[in-house]
Structure 1
Amino acid sequence: MKYENIREAVFLRRLNRFVAEVEIDGRQERVHVKNTGRCRELLIPGSQIWLTKPGTPGRKTEYDLVAVRKDNGLLFNIDSQAPNKVVAEWLAEQNYEVVKPEFTYGDSRIDFYMEREDIRCLMEVKGCTLEIDGVGYFPDAPTERGVKHIRELIRAREEGYEAALAFVIQMDGITEVRPNVATHPAFGEAMEDARKAGVQILFLPCHVEPDELRIVGGEHALYQCQDHSE
């Protein structure tokens, strides 16, 4: 996926979950932060960031903050909407007969429903923007919604669906995501229960540019719906 109208800026401070103050072209401006997670190790005063200008009428802010370079040199895409977009692009190349986003299952909306022949598949997508010593972690803030979705995937497996929990790694060079049990132990427990129930845990490494996010190396973790009864 590509962004239009990308602009480089300097991060100054985060005012709340949705708004930050930045310096662009020598002036201070408030921008929309496209990630409600903490991002404490990324959004540090003085950090190099990139903004996009969507041009949507009636907005309170002119720019969206979509990328930041960490102090270790890694470039991160922090757009929380980007993972679903790149997975949709990726799934379009995986020879599924049906791909439906935002599929209602139980009391939740699961990110994707796919069909191939007589196999039905559900996939929940999570974007990973937390890196510690070369390993990705999720979540960076407690997510009861994330736990609920994993429980739905477990139930789907019990009802005969294939199911996958897919982590889009929004930085280069990281190939593994571990549950951040220090921040949310229940997510780690749910993830382990899912693994035991036969839910596929899928890592999707990405290449990041200020104006681009794309899945690379997906062939190493390609989710192929398989009939476990065979």
Structure 2
Amino acid sequence: MQFETPLIHGYLIKRYKRFLSDIRLDDGSIVVAHCTNSGSMKTCIEEGAEVYLSPAKDPKRKTRFTWEMIKLNNKWVGINTSHPNLIAFEAIKNGSIEQLRGYKHVQREVKVGNSRIDIMAQNENETCFIEVKNVTMKEGDYARFPDAVTTRGKKHLDELIQLKKEGIRAVMLYIIQRSDVSIFAPAHTIDPTYALALQEAYKLGVEIIPIRVKVTPNEIVIDKELPFDLNL
């Protein structure tokens, strides 16, 4: 995924009210940027750190910028939660994820039961439903999800379990927007209910694919699949 317009460099002053952040640009001016991440952003906030913003496409939008990434430990961490679905969609279409290759038809936002599953992929042999989650939380070498309690995430797991019971391929795809981690695990201490549900889903045949991406001010690209441990 490439950024359509050049990003704007600045420094984080603070994040507040979940969806707002004050940013000091290189010219010294202070702007308010929209933060798409509604979670706690645990391990992703460092006041004074370098950030990049994208200009809003709609000139009438109250916040003229969107916060895209922050530099932590000399590496860029993507915090825009609207990107992982597009990253996954493009990667599945062009065969960048080994376990999800070979699908001729790939569609976003497909209604299943009482939910919308992020991606449906099909070929002449099977249909596969893929739910995509954004991961930014770091704990040592571990990338963990979620960083706040997610009842919606649990609902999506239930939908995937039902699909698997019906004989349909079901996948949890975690897009990890930071390169300073080497293994994925659920955040047991933050949301034990989700962690247990993920373990149960895996036992019932729902696949888990954690994909680390490389975030730069020009683009976000697939890096590699990471191993996972559901017990730690």
Q: What is the TM-score when the length of structure 2 is the normalising length?
A: 0.90
Whether 1:171 aligns to 2:178 is: yes
Aligned residues with identical type, % of pairs: 29
Instruction: Confirm or deny: 8 A CA contact 1:170 1:206 kept in the other structure.
Output: yes
Superposition pairs of residues 1-230 of structure 1, within 5 angstroms: 1-3=1-3, 4-24=5-25, 25-70=27-72, 72-94=73-95, 95-218=102-225
For 2:230, the equivalent position in structure 1 comes to: none
What is the SS of the residue equivalent to 2:91? helix
What is the SS of the residue equivalent to 2:45? coil
CA deviations on 1:156-207 (whole Å, 9 max, x unpaired) are 0001100000011101143422100111011101100111011110011111
Q: What is the TM-score when the length of structure 1 is the normalising length?
A: 0.91
Counterpart of 1:20, as a letter, is S
CA distance in 2 between counterparts of 1:163 and 1:53 reads 36
Counterpart of 2:47, as a letter, is P
CA deviations on 1:137-165 (whole Å, 9 max, x unpaired) are 00011110001001110010001100000
Runs of 5+ unmatched residues, structure 1: 222-230
CA distance in 1 between counterparts of 2:6 and 2:17 reads 24
CA distance in 2 between counterparts of 1:138 and 1:198 reads 20
For 2:98, the equivalent position in structure 1 comes to: none
For 1:228, the equivalent position in structure 2 comes to: none
Instruction: Confirm or deny: 8 A CA contact 1:175 1:203 kept in the other structure.
Output: no
CA distance in 2 between counterparts of 1:205 and 1:43 reads 20
Instruction: Confirm or deny: 8 A CA contact 1:10 1:47 kept in the other structure.
Output: yes
Counterpart of 2:21, as a letter, is A
Counterpart of 1:9, as a letter, is G
Give the ranges of 4+ consecutive aligned residues of structure 1 lying more than 6 Å apart after TM superposition.
none
Instruction: Confirm or deny: 8 A CA contact 1:157 1:198 kept in the other structure.
Output: yes
CA deviations on 1:10-50 (whole Å, 9 max, x unpaired) are 10111211111111120111111121111142222211111
What is the SS of the residue equivalent to 2:175? strand
CA deviations on 1:37-68 (whole Å, 9 max, x unpaired) are 11142222211111111331211011110100
Instruction: Confirm or deny: 8 A CA contact 1:127 1:170 kept in the other structure.
Output: yes
Instruction: Confirm or deny: 8 A CA contact 2:21 2:34 kept in the other structure.
Output: yes
CA distance in 2 between counterparts of 1:213 and 1:202 reads 18
Aligned pair count reads: 219
What is the SS of the residue equivalent to 1:92? helix
Runs of 5+ unmatched residues, structure 2: 96-101, 228-232
Counterpart of 1:55, as a letter, is K
Instruction: Confirm or deny: 8 A CA contact 2:77 2:178 kept in the other structure.
Output: yes
Task: Report the CA distance shift for 1:179/1:190 in structure 2 as closer, same or farther (over 3 A).
Answer: same
